[in-house]
Structure 1
Protein backbone atom coordinates (compact mmCIF):
# COMPACT_ATOMS: atom_id res chain seq x y z
CA UNK A 1 0.00 0.00 0.00
CA UNK A 2 1.27 3.46 -0.88
CA UNK A 3 0.14 6.40 1.25
CA UNK A 4 0.11 10.07 0.18
CA UNK A 5 3.50 11.70 0.47
CA UNK A 6 1.99 14.69 2.31
CA UNK A 7 -0.72 14.88 4.95
CA UNK A 8 -2.30 18.03 6.35
CA UNK A 9 -3.09 18.24 10.08
CA UNK A 10 -6.75 17.58 9.23
CA UNK A 11 -5.72 14.51 7.24
CA UNK A 12 -3.79 13.12 10.19
CA UNK A 13 -6.56 13.93 12.65
CA UNK A 14 -8.89 11.97 10.43
CA UNK A 15 -6.71 8.89 10.87
CA UNK A 16 -6.99 9.08 14.65
CA UNK A 17 -9.92 8.06 16.84
CA UNK A 18 -12.87 10.45 16.89
CA UNK A 19 -12.69 10.70 20.67
CA UNK A 20 -9.52 11.17 22.66
CA UNK A 21 -6.04 11.45 21.24
CA UNK A 22 -4.66 7.93 21.50
CA UNK A 23 -3.11 6.50 18.36
CA UNK A 24 -4.48 3.31 16.79
CA UNK A 25 -2.08 0.45 16.08
CA UNK A 26 -2.57 0.97 12.36
CA UNK A 27 -1.00 4.46 12.56
CA UNK A 28 2.43 5.14 14.03
CA UNK A 29 3.56 8.76 14.45
CA UNK A 30 7.24 9.67 14.58
CA UNK A 31 8.88 12.96 15.56
CA UNK A 32 12.02 13.09 13.41
CA UNK A 33 13.15 16.59 14.46
CA UNK A 34 16.83 17.29 13.86
CA UNK A 35 18.95 20.43 14.09
CA UNK A 36 22.35 21.48 12.83
CA UNK A 37 25.27 20.55 15.12
CA UNK A 38 25.87 24.19 16.10
CA UNK A 39 22.25 24.77 17.14
CA UNK A 40 21.42 25.28 20.83
CA UNK A 41 18.14 23.40 20.41
CA UNK A 42 17.75 19.87 21.77
CA UNK A 43 15.04 18.07 19.76
CA UNK A 44 14.73 15.06 22.05
CA UNK A 45 14.29 17.28 25.10
CA UNK A 46 11.67 19.31 23.22
CA UNK A 47 9.88 16.08 22.33
CA UNK A 48 9.74 15.10 26.00
CA UNK A 49 7.90 18.34 26.76
CA UNK A 50 5.56 18.54 23.76
CA UNK A 51 4.50 16.13 21.03
CA UNK A 52 1.57 14.85 19.04
CA UNK A 53 -0.17 12.26 21.16
CA UNK A 54 1.21 8.78 20.73
CA UNK A 55 4.34 9.89 18.87
CA UNK A 56 7.75 8.27 19.32
CA UNK A 57 11.06 10.06 18.79
CA UNK A 58 13.10 8.98 15.78
CA UNK A 59 16.73 10.02 16.20
CA UNK A 60 18.11 9.98 12.66
CA UNK A 61 21.67 10.06 14.00
CA UNK A 62 20.93 6.92 16.02
CA UNK A 63 19.05 4.92 13.38
CA UNK A 64 22.02 5.01 11.05
CA UNK A 65 25.07 3.09 9.90
CA UNK A 66 28.65 3.89 10.94
CA UNK A 67 30.69 5.65 8.26
CA UNK A 68 34.39 5.58 7.51
CA UNK A 69 34.57 9.39 7.83
CA UNK A 70 32.45 9.51 10.98
CA UNK A 71 29.50 11.07 9.16
CA UNK A 72 26.15 11.18 10.93
CA UNK A 73 22.68 9.96 9.87
CA UNK A 74 23.89 7.77 7.04
CA UNK A 75 21.35 5.25 5.78
CA UNK A 76 20.97 2.34 8.19
CA UNK A 77 21.43 -1.27 7.29
CA UNK A 78 18.35 -3.37 6.66
CA UNK A 79 18.74 -4.95 10.09
CA UNK A 80 19.10 -1.62 11.91
CA UNK A 81 16.02 -0.25 10.16
CA UNK A 82 13.94 -3.34 11.01
CA UNK A 83 15.03 -3.20 14.67
CA UNK A 84 14.07 0.48 14.90
CA UNK A 85 10.64 -0.25 13.43
CA UNK A 86 10.09 -2.99 16.00
CA UNK A 87 11.04 -0.62 18.82
CA UNK A 88 8.53 1.96 17.54
CA UNK A 89 5.75 -0.62 17.24
CA UNK A 90 5.74 -0.37 13.47
CA UNK A 91 4.63 -3.36 11.44
CA UNK A 92 4.88 -3.65 7.63
CA UNK A 93 1.21 -2.61 7.35
CA UNK A 94 1.47 0.44 9.65
CA UNK A 95 0.81 3.87 8.19
CA UNK A 96 3.87 5.79 9.40
CA UNK A 97 3.35 9.55 9.71
CA UNK A 98 6.48 11.63 10.28
CA UNK A 99 6.75 15.22 11.43
CA UNK A 100 9.38 17.66 12.65
CA UNK A 101 9.31 20.80 14.77
CA UNK A 102 10.39 23.17 11.96
CA UNK A 103 7.48 22.44 9.65
CA UNK A 104 9.42 20.80 6.84
CA UNK A 105 13.11 20.19 7.50
CA UNK A 106 14.21 16.72 8.61
CA UNK A 107 10.95 14.80 8.15
CA UNK A 108 11.51 14.30 4.38
CA UNK A 109 14.83 12.60 5.11
CA UNK A 110 13.05 10.18 7.45
CA UNK A 111 10.37 9.57 4.80
CA UNK A 112 13.11 8.90 2.25
CA UNK A 113 14.50 6.24 4.58
CA UNK A 114 11.15 4.47 4.92
CA UNK A 115 10.46 4.59 1.20
CA UNK A 116 13.97 3.31 0.36
CA UNK A 117 13.25 0.23 2.46
CA UNK A 118 9.98 -0.35 0.66
CA UNK A 119 7.67 0.98 3.40
CA UNK A 120 5.52 3.01 1.04
CA UNK A 121 2.67 3.30 3.56
CA UNK A 122 4.40 6.41 4.92
CA UNK A 123 3.81 10.17 4.81
CA UNK A 124 5.05 13.41 6.33
CA UNK A 125 2.91 15.95 8.14
CA UNK A 126 3.23 18.98 5.88
CA UNK A 127 3.93 21.92 8.21
CA UNK A 128 4.92 19.65 11.07
CA UNK A 129 4.22 20.24 14.73
CA UNK A 130 3.93 24.07 14.41
CA UNK A 131 1.17 23.80 11.81
CA UNK A 132 -0.58 21.09 13.85
CA UNK A 133 -0.71 23.48 16.80
CA UNK A 134 -1.56 26.52 14.66
CA UNK A 135 -4.62 24.72 13.31
CA UNK A 136 -5.85 24.02 16.82
CA UNK A 137 -5.03 20.36 17.25
CA UNK A 138 -3.93 19.15 20.70
CA UNK A 139 -0.43 18.29 21.87
CA UNK A 140 0.68 16.04 24.68
CA UNK A 141 2.93 17.23 27.52
CA UNK A 142 2.91 14.22 29.86
CA UNK A 143 5.96 11.91 29.86
CA UNK A 144 5.88 9.79 26.69
CA UNK A 145 4.96 6.13 26.89
CA UNK A 146 7.12 3.66 24.98
CA UNK A 147 5.36 2.02 22.07
CA UNK A 148 4.57 -1.67 22.24
CA UNK A 149 7.21 -3.56 20.31
CA UNK A 150 6.23 -5.26 17.07
CA UNK A 151 7.61 -7.67 14.54
CA UNK A 152 9.20 -6.25 11.40
CA UNK A 153 10.79 -8.66 8.90
CA UNK A 154 14.13 -7.54 7.52
CA UNK A 155 13.28 -5.51 4.39
CA UNK A 156 15.16 -5.22 1.11
CA UNK A 157 16.92 -1.92 0.57
CA UNK A 158 16.48 -0.32 -2.86
CA UNK A 159 20.09 0.43 -3.84
CA UNK A 160 18.94 2.64 -6.71
CA UNK A 161 17.78 5.29 -4.23
CA UNK A 162 21.30 6.13 -2.97
CA UNK A 163 24.41 7.39 -4.72
CA UNK A 164 27.91 6.77 -3.37
CA UNK A 165 30.94 9.05 -3.55
CA UNK A 166 32.37 6.98 -6.37
CA UNK A 167 29.16 7.24 -8.40
CA UNK A 168 28.99 11.00 -7.92
CA UNK A 169 32.63 11.47 -8.95
CA UNK A 170 32.27 9.35 -12.08
CA UNK A 171 29.05 11.14 -12.94
CA UNK A 172 30.49 14.65 -12.49
CA UNK A 173 33.41 14.29 -14.91
CA UNK A 174 31.62 15.10 -18.19
CA UNK A 175 29.18 17.91 -18.74
CA UNK A 176 25.75 16.43 -17.92
CA UNK A 177 23.94 18.62 -20.44
CA UNK A 178 25.99 17.12 -23.27
CA UNK A 179 25.14 13.52 -22.41
CA UNK A 180 21.60 12.41 -21.53
CA UNK A 181 22.95 9.33 -19.72
CA UNK A 182 24.68 11.48 -17.11
CA UNK A 183 22.61 12.32 -14.04
CA UNK A 184 21.85 15.85 -12.96
CA UNK A 185 22.95 16.73 -9.41
CA UNK A 186 21.03 19.42 -7.53
CA UNK A 187 22.52 20.97 -4.39
CA UNK A 188 20.14 21.96 -1.56
CA UNK A 189 22.63 24.16 0.33
CA UNK A 190 22.38 27.95 0.25
CA UNK A 191 23.52 29.59 -2.98
CA UNK A 192 26.43 31.29 -1.20
CA UNK A 193 27.79 27.97 0.05
CA UNK A 194 27.36 26.52 -3.44
CA UNK A 195 29.29 29.40 -4.98
CA UNK A 196 32.01 29.20 -2.35
CA UNK A 197 31.43 32.78 -1.19
CA UNK A 198 29.86 31.79 2.16
CA UNK A 199 31.49 29.48 4.71
CA UNK A 200 30.29 26.02 5.61
CA UNK A 201 28.79 25.59 9.10
CA UNK A 202 31.29 22.81 9.78
CA UNK A 203 34.65 24.38 10.78
CA UNK A 204 37.54 23.87 8.41
CA UNK A 205 35.45 22.62 5.50
CA UNK A 206 35.69 24.32 2.14
CA UNK A 207 32.53 25.62 0.50
CA UNK A 208 31.96 25.35 -3.24
CA UNK A 209 30.24 22.65 -5.26
CA UNK A 210 30.54 19.37 -7.12
CA UNK A 211 31.51 20.01 -10.77
CA UNK A 212 28.51 20.37 -13.10
CA UNK A 213 26.01 20.34 -10.23
CA UNK A 214 23.15 22.84 -10.01
CA UNK A 215 22.18 25.12 -7.14
CA UNK A 216 18.64 24.50 -5.85
CA UNK A 217 18.45 25.70 -2.21
CA UNK A 218 15.92 23.59 -0.34
CA UNK A 219 13.88 26.64 0.69
CA UNK A 220 13.01 27.19 -2.99
CA UNK A 221 10.64 24.23 -2.61
CA UNK A 222 9.01 25.61 0.54
CA UNK A 223 6.66 28.35 1.68
CA UNK A 224 7.00 30.03 5.08
CA UNK A 225 3.88 30.71 7.14
CA UNK A 226 3.31 32.71 10.31
CA UNK A 227 0.75 31.17 12.63
CA UNK A 228 -2.25 33.41 13.38
CA UNK A 229 -1.99 35.34 16.65
CA UNK A 230 1.55 34.04 17.10
CA UNK A 231 5.12 34.73 16.04
CA UNK A 232 5.59 31.01 15.30
CA UNK A 233 6.70 30.30 11.76
CA UNK A 234 6.69 27.03 9.88
CA UNK A 235 7.24 25.76 6.37
CA UNK A 236 5.16 23.68 3.95
CA UNK A 237 5.78 22.44 0.43
CA UNK A 238 4.83 24.68 -2.47
CA UNK A 239 2.01 23.61 -4.82
CA UNK A 240 3.16 21.39 -7.69
CA UNK A 241 3.21 24.16 -10.37
CA UNK A 242 5.49 26.27 -8.18
CA UNK A 243 7.73 23.28 -7.44
CA UNK A 244 8.11 22.76 -11.17
CA UNK A 245 9.00 26.42 -11.67
CA UNK A 246 11.67 26.21 -8.97
CA UNK A 247 13.18 23.20 -10.75
CA UNK A 248 13.03 25.05 -14.08
CA UNK A 249 14.76 28.06 -12.54
CA UNK A 250 17.57 25.77 -11.36
CA UNK A 251 18.19 23.49 -14.36
CA UNK A 252 16.22 25.02 -17.24
CA UNK A 253 12.94 24.04 -18.88
CA UNK A 254 14.34 21.31 -21.13
CA UNK A 255 16.18 19.49 -18.35
CA UNK A 256 13.28 19.87 -15.90
CA UNK A 257 10.91 18.30 -18.43
CA UNK A 258 13.33 15.40 -19.03
CA UNK A 259 13.56 14.76 -15.28
CA UNK A 260 9.79 14.87 -14.75
CA UNK A 261 9.22 12.61 -17.75
CA UNK A 262 11.75 10.09 -16.46
CA UNK A 263 14.09 10.56 -19.43
CA UNK A 264 16.90 11.83 -17.20
CA UNK A 265 17.77 10.77 -13.65
CA UNK A 266 18.57 13.27 -10.92
CA UNK A 267 20.45 13.10 -7.62
CA UNK A 268 19.91 15.40 -4.66
CA UNK A 269 22.72 16.56 -2.39
CA UNK A 270 23.11 19.02 0.50
CA UNK A 271 25.46 19.54 3.45
CA UNK A 272 25.14 16.14 5.13
CA UNK A 273 22.28 14.30 3.42
CA UNK A 274 19.48 15.85 5.50
CA UNK A 275 17.89 18.65 3.45
CA UNK A 276 18.62 16.70 0.27
CA UNK A 277 15.52 14.85 1.43
CA UNK A 278 13.46 18.00 0.86
CA UNK A 279 14.56 18.14 -2.78
CA UNK A 280 13.95 14.39 -3.10
CA UNK A 281 10.40 14.76 -1.79
CA UNK A 282 9.70 17.82 -3.94
CA UNK A 283 10.80 15.89 -7.02
CA UNK A 284 8.60 12.97 -5.98
CA UNK A 285 5.67 15.38 -5.68
CA UNK A 286 6.45 16.31 -9.28
CA UNK A 287 6.22 12.57 -10.01
CA UNK A 288 9.80 12.40 -11.27
CA UNK A 289 10.46 8.64 -11.36
CA UNK A 290 14.28 8.53 -11.30
CA UNK A 291 15.40 10.39 -8.16
CA UNK A 292 18.29 9.36 -5.91
CA UNK A 293 20.04 10.96 -2.93
CA UNK A 294 23.79 11.38 -2.37
CA UNK A 295 23.97 10.13 1.20
CA UNK A 296 27.33 11.65 2.19
CA UNK A 297 26.55 14.89 0.39
CA UNK A 298 28.96 17.82 0.68
CA UNK A 299 30.47 16.81 4.04
CA UNK A 300 31.67 13.51 2.63
CA UNK A 301 32.64 14.94 -0.74
CA UNK A 302 34.64 17.92 0.52
CA UNK A 303 36.35 15.87 3.25
CA UNK A 304 38.26 13.87 0.66
CA UNK A 305 41.48 15.43 -0.58
CA UNK A 306 40.97 13.97 -4.06
CA UNK A 307 37.65 15.74 -4.62
CA UNK A 308 37.45 18.45 -7.25
CA UNK A 309 35.75 21.53 -5.81
CA UNK A 310 34.41 24.28 -8.01
CA UNK A 311 33.80 27.86 -6.90
CA UNK A 312 32.17 30.62 -8.89
CA UNK A 313 30.73 34.11 -8.52
CA UNK A 314 27.38 33.58 -10.29
Structure 2
Protein backbone atom coordinates (compact mmCIF):
# COMPACT_ATOMS: atom_id res chain seq x y z
CA UNK A 1 0.00 0.00 0.00
CA UNK A 2 1.28 3.47 -0.87
CA UNK A 3 1.90 5.74 2.09
CA UNK A 4 -1.38 7.52 2.90
CA UNK A 5 0.41 10.60 4.25
CA UNK A 6 3.06 12.79 2.64
CA UNK A 7 5.33 15.39 4.24
CA UNK A 8 5.58 18.92 2.86
CA UNK A 9 9.24 18.26 2.06
CA UNK A 10 8.30 15.23 -0.02
CA UNK A 11 5.66 17.19 -1.92
CA UNK A 12 8.02 20.08 -2.59
CA UNK A 13 10.53 17.66 -4.12
CA UNK A 14 8.00 16.33 -6.63
CA UNK A 15 5.99 19.51 -7.20
CA UNK A 16 6.97 19.70 -10.89
CA UNK A 17 5.77 16.16 -11.63
CA UNK A 18 3.02 16.47 -14.26
CA UNK A 19 1.22 13.41 -12.90
CA UNK A 20 0.60 15.05 -9.53
CA UNK A 21 -2.78 16.62 -8.79
CA UNK A 22 -2.97 18.76 -5.65
CA UNK A 23 -6.47 19.24 -4.24
CA UNK A 24 -7.46 21.82 -1.64
CA UNK A 25 -10.19 20.19 0.49
CA UNK A 26 -10.84 23.22 2.73
CA UNK A 27 -14.37 24.35 3.55
CA UNK A 28 -15.70 27.65 4.84
CA UNK A 29 -16.77 26.25 8.22
CA UNK A 30 -16.63 23.17 10.43
CA UNK A 31 -18.45 21.85 13.49
CA UNK A 32 -15.26 21.91 15.57
CA UNK A 33 -15.21 25.71 15.25
CA UNK A 34 -11.67 25.76 13.88
CA UNK A 35 -10.51 28.72 11.80
CA UNK A 36 -7.68 29.17 9.34
CA UNK A 37 -5.24 32.04 9.06
CA UNK A 38 -4.70 31.29 5.37
CA UNK A 39 -8.03 31.75 3.61
CA UNK A 40 -6.66 33.33 0.41
CA UNK A 41 -3.47 31.32 -0.06
CA UNK A 42 -3.15 28.10 -2.07
CA UNK A 43 -0.35 25.64 -2.62
CA UNK A 44 1.20 26.15 -6.04
CA UNK A 45 -0.78 24.23 -8.66
CA UNK A 46 -3.74 23.43 -6.38
CA UNK A 47 -7.25 22.74 -7.64
CA UNK A 48 -10.37 23.04 -5.49
CA UNK A 49 -12.18 19.94 -4.28
CA UNK A 50 -15.72 21.14 -3.45
CA UNK A 51 -16.59 18.77 -0.64
CA UNK A 52 -19.84 20.51 0.30
CA UNK A 53 -21.36 20.67 -3.19
CA UNK A 54 -19.85 18.55 -5.96
CA UNK A 55 -18.78 15.67 -3.73
CA UNK A 56 -21.74 15.01 -1.46
CA UNK A 57 -25.15 13.42 -1.95
CA UNK A 58 -27.37 16.51 -2.16
CA UNK A 59 -30.51 14.38 -1.85
CA UNK A 60 -29.54 12.98 1.54
CA UNK A 61 -31.11 14.51 4.66
CA UNK A 62 -27.78 14.05 6.43
CA UNK A 63 -24.70 16.25 5.91
CA UNK A 64 -21.56 15.10 4.09
CA UNK A 65 -23.15 11.91 2.75
CA UNK A 66 -20.96 10.08 0.24
CA UNK A 67 -22.12 10.66 -3.38
CA UNK A 68 -22.77 7.73 -5.66
CA UNK A 69 -19.83 6.42 -7.72
CA UNK A 70 -21.11 7.98 -10.95
CA UNK A 71 -21.36 11.47 -9.47
CA UNK A 72 -17.93 11.11 -7.90
CA UNK A 73 -16.44 9.92 -11.19
CA UNK A 74 -17.97 12.76 -13.23
CA UNK A 75 -16.78 15.50 -10.90
CA UNK A 76 -13.35 13.91 -10.44
CA UNK A 77 -12.88 13.90 -14.22
CA UNK A 78 -13.84 17.58 -14.28
CA UNK A 79 -10.87 18.16 -11.97
CA UNK A 80 -8.60 16.45 -14.50
CA UNK A 81 -8.11 13.33 -12.41
CA UNK A 82 -6.89 10.20 -14.17
CA UNK A 83 -6.63 6.63 -12.92
CA UNK A 84 -2.86 7.12 -12.99
CA UNK A 85 -2.82 10.47 -11.16
CA UNK A 86 -0.91 10.86 -7.92
CA UNK A 87 -3.39 12.77 -5.76
CA UNK A 88 -2.21 14.95 -2.88
CA UNK A 89 -4.88 16.31 -0.53
CA UNK A 90 -4.59 19.21 1.89
CA UNK A 91 -6.69 21.66 3.84
CA UNK A 92 -6.05 25.01 5.45
CA UNK A 93 -6.48 23.70 9.01
CA UNK A 94 -3.51 21.35 8.92
CA UNK A 95 -5.38 18.05 9.00
CA UNK A 96 -9.17 18.18 9.11
CA UNK A 97 -11.18 17.65 5.90
CA UNK A 98 -8.38 16.06 3.87
CA UNK A 99 -8.65 12.58 5.49
CA UNK A 100 -12.35 12.54 4.59
CA UNK A 101 -11.44 13.11 0.94
CA UNK A 102 -8.69 10.48 1.20
CA UNK A 103 -11.30 7.96 2.32
CA UNK A 104 -13.62 9.02 -0.51
CA UNK A 105 -10.98 8.43 -3.17
CA UNK A 106 -9.99 5.12 -1.60
CA UNK A 107 -13.56 3.83 -1.45
CA UNK A 108 -13.98 4.88 -5.08
CA UNK A 109 -10.97 2.76 -5.98
CA UNK A 110 -8.18 5.25 -6.62
CA UNK A 111 -4.81 3.63 -5.99
CA UNK A 112 -2.52 6.58 -5.30
CA UNK A 113 -3.83 9.21 -2.90
CA UNK A 114 -2.11 10.85 0.08
CA UNK A 115 -2.88 13.47 2.71
CA UNK A 116 -0.38 16.29 3.12
CA UNK A 117 0.73 16.07 6.74
CA UNK A 118 0.34 19.50 8.30
CA UNK A 119 -1.52 20.82 5.27
CA UNK A 120 -1.32 24.45 4.19
CA UNK A 121 -0.04 25.83 7.55
CA UNK A 122 2.99 23.54 7.46
CA UNK A 123 3.58 24.32 3.77
CA UNK A 124 3.57 28.06 4.44
CA UNK A 125 5.71 27.62 7.54
CA UNK A 126 8.38 26.05 5.33
CA UNK A 127 8.02 28.91 2.80
CA UNK A 128 7.27 26.57 -0.09
CA UNK A 129 5.61 27.95 -3.30
CA UNK A 130 2.08 29.34 -3.06
CA UNK A 131 -0.37 31.24 -5.27
CA UNK A 132 -3.50 33.34 -4.80
CA UNK A 133 -5.92 31.52 -7.12
CA UNK A 134 -6.70 27.92 -7.99
CA UNK A 135 -5.49 26.33 -11.20
CA UNK A 136 -8.46 26.14 -13.59
CA UNK A 137 -6.92 25.06 -16.90
CA UNK A 138 -6.50 21.32 -17.32
CA UNK A 139 -7.81 18.52 -19.50
CA UNK A 140 -10.70 16.32 -18.43
CA UNK A 141 -9.51 13.18 -16.71
CA UNK A 142 -10.32 9.51 -17.24
CA UNK A 143 -10.77 8.35 -13.64
CA UNK A 144 -13.20 5.45 -13.31
CA UNK A 145 -14.87 4.70 -9.97
CA UNK A 146 -14.47 1.18 -8.61
CA UNK A 147 -16.51 1.14 -5.41
CA UNK A 148 -14.95 -0.69 -2.44
CA UNK A 149 -17.99 -1.80 -0.44
CA UNK A 150 -16.00 -3.10 2.53
CA UNK A 151 -14.90 0.46 3.43
CA UNK A 152 -18.37 1.64 4.48
CA UNK A 153 -20.89 0.45 7.07
CA UNK A 154 -24.52 1.46 7.39
CA UNK A 155 -26.92 1.84 10.31
CA UNK A 156 -28.43 -1.63 9.91
CA UNK A 157 -25.05 -3.34 9.97
CA UNK A 158 -24.10 -1.59 13.20
CA UNK A 159 -27.47 -2.37 14.80
CA UNK A 160 -27.03 -6.05 13.94
CA UNK A 161 -23.55 -6.14 15.48
CA UNK A 162 -23.95 -4.15 18.69
CA UNK A 163 -23.17 -7.25 20.75
CA UNK A 164 -20.54 -8.64 18.39
CA UNK A 165 -17.15 -8.60 20.13
CA UNK A 166 -15.42 -8.74 16.75
CA UNK A 167 -16.87 -5.35 15.74
CA UNK A 168 -15.75 -2.16 17.48
CA UNK A 169 -17.20 1.30 16.80
CA UNK A 170 -14.76 4.16 17.47
CA UNK A 171 -16.33 7.61 17.91
CA UNK A 172 -14.08 10.59 17.05
CA UNK A 173 -16.23 13.30 18.68
CA UNK A 174 -14.88 15.08 21.74
CA UNK A 175 -15.43 13.34 25.07
CA UNK A 176 -18.07 15.81 26.30
CA UNK A 177 -20.27 15.16 23.27
CA UNK A 178 -19.66 11.42 23.49
CA UNK A 179 -20.66 11.39 27.18
CA UNK A 180 -23.65 13.75 26.75
CA UNK A 181 -21.98 16.48 28.81
CA UNK A 182 -22.49 19.11 26.12
CA UNK A 183 -25.13 19.43 23.38
CA UNK A 184 -24.59 18.45 19.78
CA UNK A 185 -23.76 21.40 17.49
CA UNK A 186 -26.55 20.40 15.11
CA UNK A 187 -29.97 21.75 16.00
CA UNK A 188 -32.49 19.28 17.44
CA UNK A 189 -29.99 16.39 17.49
CA UNK A 190 -30.03 14.47 20.76
CA UNK A 191 -26.90 13.68 22.70
CA UNK A 192 -25.44 10.26 23.40
CA UNK A 193 -23.36 7.54 21.79
CA UNK A 194 -23.74 4.23 19.98
CA UNK A 195 -24.00 1.34 22.48
CA UNK A 196 -20.66 -0.39 23.16
CA UNK A 197 -18.70 2.19 21.15
CA UNK A 198 -15.49 3.72 22.49
CA UNK A 199 -14.28 7.29 22.26
CA UNK A 200 -11.04 8.40 20.61
CA UNK A 201 -11.40 12.16 19.96
CA UNK A 202 -9.75 13.09 16.68
CA UNK A 203 -7.46 15.55 18.48
CA UNK A 204 -5.80 12.59 20.23
CA UNK A 205 -4.12 11.44 16.99
CA UNK A 206 -2.83 14.90 16.02
CA UNK A 207 -0.08 17.19 17.23
CA UNK A 208 -0.06 20.79 16.00
CA UNK A 209 -2.06 19.96 12.88
CA UNK A 210 -0.02 16.88 11.95
CA UNK A 211 -0.43 13.20 12.66
CA UNK A 212 1.50 11.96 15.66
CA UNK A 213 4.47 9.68 15.11
CA UNK A 214 3.64 5.96 14.78
CA UNK A 215 4.97 5.08 18.24
CA UNK A 216 2.62 7.66 19.77
CA UNK A 217 -0.31 6.56 17.64
CA UNK A 218 0.19 3.01 18.88
CA UNK A 219 -0.35 4.31 22.40
CA UNK A 220 -3.62 5.95 21.34
CA UNK A 221 -4.87 2.62 20.00
CA UNK A 222 -3.22 0.43 22.65
CA UNK A 223 -6.49 -1.02 24.01
CA UNK A 224 -7.68 -2.24 20.61
CA UNK A 225 -7.39 -5.89 19.64
CA UNK A 226 -5.21 -5.62 16.55
CA UNK A 227 -5.76 -9.16 15.31
CA UNK A 228 -9.47 -9.96 15.40
CA UNK A 229 -11.53 -6.76 15.60
CA UNK A 230 -13.08 -4.92 12.69
CA UNK A 231 -13.01 -1.20 13.35
CA UNK A 232 -15.87 1.08 12.34
CA UNK A 233 -15.22 4.80 12.62
CA UNK A 234 -17.93 7.32 13.46
CA UNK A 235 -18.19 10.98 14.54
CA UNK A 236 -20.83 13.68 14.07
CA UNK A 237 -21.27 13.46 10.30
CA UNK A 238 -18.42 11.34 8.91
CA UNK A 239 -15.63 13.93 8.62
CA UNK A 240 -13.45 13.79 11.74
CA UNK A 241 -13.98 10.01 11.93
CA UNK A 242 -11.75 9.83 8.86
CA UNK A 243 -8.92 11.52 10.76
CA UNK A 244 -8.88 8.68 13.29
CA UNK A 245 -9.48 6.15 10.50
CA UNK A 246 -6.38 7.37 8.65
CA UNK A 247 -4.33 7.46 11.85
CA UNK A 248 -5.24 3.83 12.52
CA UNK A 249 -4.23 2.96 8.96
CA UNK A 250 -0.69 4.01 9.85
CA UNK A 251 -0.33 1.55 12.75
CA UNK A 252 -3.08 -1.11 12.70
CA UNK A 253 -3.77 -4.01 10.36
CA UNK A 254 -7.44 -4.38 11.34
CA UNK A 255 -10.20 -4.35 8.77
CA UNK A 256 -11.71 -0.88 8.77
CA UNK A 257 -14.79 0.94 7.56
CA UNK A 258 -16.61 4.23 8.07
CA UNK A 259 -20.13 4.70 9.40
CA UNK A 260 -20.94 7.48 6.97
CA UNK A 261 -24.17 8.62 8.64
CA UNK A 262 -22.40 8.70 12.01
CA UNK A 263 -24.09 10.21 15.07
CA UNK A 264 -26.22 12.60 12.99
CA UNK A 265 -28.00 9.60 11.49
CA UNK A 266 -27.96 7.40 14.60
CA UNK A 267 -29.12 10.19 16.91
CA UNK A 268 -31.94 11.06 14.51
CA UNK A 269 -33.24 7.59 13.58
CA UNK A 270 -32.43 5.45 16.63
CA UNK A 271 -34.42 5.87 19.83
CA UNK A 272 -33.04 5.43 23.31
Structure 2 CA distance, aligned partners of 1:168 and 1:40? 30
Whether the aligned pair in 2 keeps the contact of 1:97 and 1:122 (CA below 8 Å) is yes
Determine the C-alpha separation between the residues in 1 that align with 2:244 and 2:250: 10
Residue from 273, 284, 293 that aligns with 2:258: 293
Change (3 A) 1:53 1:60: same
Matches within 5 A, 1:1-314: 2-17=1-16, 24-34=17-27, 35-36=29-30, 46=39, 49-62=40-53, 63-68=55-60, 70-141=61-132, 143-172=133-162, 174=163, 176=164, 179-180=165-166, 183-224=167-208, 235-248=209-222, 252=223, 256=224, 258-259=225-226, 261=227, 263-304=228-269, 306-308=270-272
Larger Rg: 1
RMSD: 2.0
The answer (yes or no) to whether the contact 1:83–1:152 under 8 Å persists in 2 is: no
Question: What is the TM-score normalised by the length of structure 2?
Answer: 0.93
How far 1:221 sits from its partner (Å)?
A: 0.5
Task: Quote the Cα distance in structure 2 between the aligned partners of 1:185 and 1:67.
Answer: 26
Structure 1 segments unaligned to the other structure (5+ residues): 18-23, 225-234, 309-314
SS at structure 1 position matched to 2:161 = helix
Residue 230 of structure 1: aligned partner: none
What secondary structure sits across from 2:77 in the alignment?
Answer: helix
- 4+ runs of 1 displaced by more than 2 Å? 37-43, 149-154
Structure 2 residue ranges without an equivalent (≥5): none
Once the two structures are superposed, residues 155-194 of structure 1 have per-residue CA deviations (whole angstroms, 9 ceiling, x without a partner) of 221111001111122222x2x4xx33xx100000000000
Contact 1:117 1:158 in 2 (8 A): yes
Q: Secondary structure at the match of 1:267?
A: strand
In structure 2, C-alpha distance between the alignment counterparts of 1:167 and 1:267, rounded to whole Å? 10
Deviation at 1:211, TM superposition (A): 0.5
Please, what TM-score do these two structures have when normalized by structure 1? 0.81
Looking at structure 1, the residues matched to 135 and 84 of structure 2 have their Cα atoms a distance apart, in angstroms, of: 22
Task: Tell whether the 8 Å contact from 1:89 to 1:147 is kept in structure 2 after alignment.
Answer: no
